[in-house]
Amino acid sequence: MDGQEGQTHYTKRVVLPSGKTIEVVYFKETDEAGLPVPEQDQELHVCTECASELVYPVEWEEAGPESWSVLLHCPNCDEQREGIFHQETVERFDETLDKGAEELARDYRRLVRGNMADELGRFMTALQADAILPEDF
């Protein structure tokens, strides 16, 4: 085929929920062994444009036995980039994302408790001042 120098393909067998098996053919830039060429090791959560540490994945899929194709987005500068990365790099990125999700959940729970305590305080003050009537319910 024309235009495929330096590219090769590999297939991956996928079993669908219906039980059918299909083979997916991937075409990628390759090294001597015919595998996609991953980028150098890097921290994927850090934006290459603005150095923000809030980069998150938009899409990712296997690009070979030890590499992943990942589409990244930076919410700070709106930069998007796609690359092929080693399995270890993606695993570190996934751990960073998990830690970030845990921090968000912890902050969310703290805010909910704070808001509920504030709401309860206002309700108690209204009760003590006889500012709540049966018509309010």
Q: SS3 for 23?
A: strand
Structure tokens at 126: 């209204």
| Domain regions of the chain by residue span | 1-37, 38-130
Q: How confident is the model at residue 75 (pLDDT cuts 50, 70, 90)?
A: very high
Query: Is the full-model pTM beyond 0.75?
Result: no
Q: How many residues comprise the chain?
A: 137
- The pair phi, psi for residue 5, each rounded to 5°, is -65, 135
Q: Which of 38-42, 61-65, 109-113 has the lowest mean pLDDT?
A: 38-42
The pLDDT tens digits of the residues spanning 101-122 come to: 999 999 999 999 999 999 999 9
